[in-house]
Amino acid sequence: MSLKINGQRLRSHLECLAKIGYREGAGITRLAYSREDVQAHEYVAVLMREAGLQVSYDPAWNLIGRWEPTLAQEDRHAWAASSGESVWPKKTSRPAIVMGSHLDTVPQGGPFDGALGVLGAVEVAQTIIENGWSLKRPLEVIAFANEEGSLAGGTFGSQAMAGSLAEEEMTLLQDEKSALARAYLNLGLDPKLVPSAKRDREFAAAYLELHIEQGDVLEGLGIPIGIVQGIVGIRRYEITVHGRAGHAGATPMAGRKDALVRAAQLVLDINEKARSFGPGTVATVGRIQASPGAFNVIPGLVNLYAEVRSLDLKTLEDFEAHLYRRVEGLGALAVVLRKDPVAMDRAVMGHVEAACEALRVRHQLIPSGAGHDAMNMAAVAPAGMIFVPSRAGLSHVPEEWTDWEHVTLGTQVLLESCLAVASHE
Ligand SMILES: [Zn+2]
């Protein structure tokens, strides 16, 4: 016998959730910790209980639904009493299979970013529980707090759980006047305790996140499932290009040192360099500012904001070395951000692949160009992600859409992957 998720039920849950924070013509706005976000968490807590999960919040306001299949009722009480962790299950009996994503949105976002990963996971848990399926491991479904980064950097809740909060965020939590600390106080939580949401490395056998692709690769290929290889690393640079300002009429072309012309060549070079690395590496100059910035003055100084993303650390390093060489003699290069790529776990990817094959579903390895909670969870658990297609590649906009057929299929793959991890010792 094989288990089938209930696609109709999942759809109705996603449709109900999509009403929270919805405004006609303006999509869904559920900024982290807002009234709408709290309402969404309350709604999902109800669904978790209906599914048969034990619901709690950790100190970072991550909503956790947990199911202990192997413990008899008496053992469960004994465990809670002996661990003293009745509020939230910091210590696990056995490493759990953890699934999750987030419920908050960007301003005027869509109905699937994050929501699919949480409600898909609740559906998977409910399917397992209501069919009386026995697993060797506990299940946990997590709705991570503040993934989209309002009042703090993005993926805040999963960073707290992984113990990787940034120093600036720690400072904000200590300062009771900061908007972030006040958001926690409003929820009845002590902001200073947020870092204690950190989990042990042994808490999870695997972390699985179902998410919309937010790009158009899968749609372009006509393939319904993406198995995420990793989350790209990002390097950001502010580049200053020097020249010599002068009269735009009186200075002959031959003797000019036009900073913008030099910068333009650099922009083309960055684009070409990214192409030379092949698919999986992208580079963008997203902002350019010429000074003094007038019709009749040759630009003497230009500032460029350049960003490089790749799954491969060596590519990022080679690109950076190339930029340093290229900028030498032209001006200066300052590193604004260095975020390394995060690889997904090979064994977990293998389980997702096996799940796709068992279901005879076409699948494709794919990098994630956007950050997700999975990149933090990868530090405390073997992590994997499943992508489903985004129509026209649109996300973070009201038009964000994924076909119901793909929603159901992705969730079925999540279920099979979860069972594959559970049966694997
Ligand atoms: Zn998301």
pTM, two decimal places: 0.87
All residues at 6 or more sequence positions from 278 whose CB lies less than 8 Å from its CB, including other chains = none
At residue 8, the pLDDT reads: 98
Boundary residue ending a domain (281, 304, 339): 339
At residue 257, the pLDDT reads: 97
For residues 351 and 409, state if they share a domain: yes
For residues 323 and 351, state if they share a domain: no
In contact, 65 and 120? CB cutoff 8 Å = no
For residues 30 and 153, state if they share a domain: yes
For residues 331 and 360, state if they share a domain: no
Give yes or no for residue 89 having a pLDDT over 70. Answer: no
For residues 91 and 30, state if they share a domain: yes
Gap from CA of 116 to ligand 1 centroid (Å):
9
For residues 218 and 240, state if they share a domain: no
Render pLDDT for 321-376 as a digit per residue (tens, 0 to 9).
999 999 999 999 999 999 999 999 999 999 999 999 999 999 999 999 999 999 99
Range 389-393 contact pairs with CB under 8 angstroms and sequence separation of 24 or more = 389/212, 389/213, 389/218, 389/219, 389/223, 389/224, 389/226, 390/112, 390/212, 390/213, 390/214, 390/215, 390/216, 390/218, 390/219, 391/219, 392/216, 392/219, 393/213, 393/214, 393/215, 393/216, 393/217, 393/219
All residues at 6 or more sequence positions from 42 whose CB lies less than 8 Å from its CB, including other chains = none
136 vs 211, higher pLDDT: 211
Gap from CA of 114 to ligand 1 centroid (Å):
4
Render pLDDT for 38-61 as a digit per residue (tens, 0 to 9).
999 999 999 999 999 999 999 999
Gap from CA of 79 to ligand 1 centroid (Å):
34
What is the count of structural domains for the chain?
A: 2
For residues 194 and 62, state if they share a domain: yes
Show the domain range for 29: 7-230+342-423
All residues at 6 or more sequence positions from 163 whose CB lies less than 8 Å from its CB, including other chains = 195, 198, 199, 379, 380
Render pLDDT for 275-308 as a digit per residue (tens, 0 to 9).
999 888 999 999 999 999 999 999 999 999 999 9
For residues 78 and 194, state if they share a domain: yes
Gap from CA of 415 to ligand 1 centroid (Å):
20
Q: Is 1 within the bounds of a domain?
A: no
Distance between CA 324 and CA 340 in Å, rounded? 19
At residue 72, the pLDDT reads: 54
Boundary residue ending a domain (339, 369, 397): 339
Gap from CA of 401 to ligand 1 centroid (Å):
13
Gap from CA of 245 to ligand 1 centroid (Å):
46
For residues 18 and 103, state if they share a domain: yes
In contact, 243 and 301? CB cutoff 8 Å = yes
What is the percent of the chain where pLDDT is above 70?
Answer: 94
Query: Residue 191 is part of a domain; what is its CATH number?
Result: 3.40.630.10
78 to each of 82, 84, 402, how far by Cα in Å? 6, 10, 44
Mean confidence (pLDDT) of the chain: 93
Boundary residue ending a domain (339, 371, 404): 339
* Residues paired with 100 in a beta bridge: 142
Gap from CA of 347 to ligand 1 centroid (Å):
23
HEC readout, the chain: CCCCCCHHHHHHHHHHHCCCCEECCCEECCCCCCHHHHHHHHHHHHHHHHHCCEEEECCCCCEEEEECCCCCHHHHHHHHHHHCCCCCCCCCCCCEEEEEEECCCCCCECCCCCHHHHHHHHHHHHHHHHCCCCCCCCEEEEEECCCCCCCCCCCHHHHHHHCCCCHHHHHHHHCCCCHHHHHHHHCCCCHHHHHHHCCCHHHEEEEEEEEECCCCHHHHHCCCEEEEEEECEEEEEEEEEECECEECCCCCHHHCECHHHHHHHHHHHHHHHHHHCCCCEEEEEEEEEEECCCCCEECCEEEEEEEEEECCHHHHHHHHHHHHHHHCCCEEEEEEEEECCEECCHHHHHHHHHHHHHCCCCEEEEEECCCCHHHHHCCCCCEEEEEECCHHHCCCCCCCCCCHHHHHHHHHHHHHHHHHHHHCC
Query: Residue 298 is part of a domain; what is its CATH number?
Result: 3.30.70.360
Give yes or no for residue 78 having a pLDDT over 70. Answer: no
Gap from CA of 174 to ligand 1 centroid (Å):
27
In the chain, the amino acid numbered 210 is L
For residues 301 and 412, state if they share a domain: no
Gap from CA of 372 to ligand 1 centroid (Å):
6
For residues 201 and 320, state if they share a domain: no
Gap from CA of 113 to ligand 1 centroid (Å):
5
At residue 68, the pLDDT reads: 87
Burial of 342: CB neighbours in 10 Å, binned 0-12, 13-18, 19+: buried
Gap from CA of 208 to ligand 1 centroid (Å):
13
At residue 425, the pLDDT reads: 64
Q: Is 2 within the bounds of a domain?
A: no
For residues 215 and 279, state if they share a domain: no
Render pLDDT for 204-248 as a digit per residue (tens, 0 to 9).
999 999 999 999 999 999 999 999 999 999 999 999 999 999 999
**Tokens at 337, concatenated:** 């951000």
Please identify which residue in the block is written with the tokens 């579903």.
361
Gap from CA of 31 to ligand 1 centroid (Å):
13
* Residues paired with 388 in a beta bridge: 212
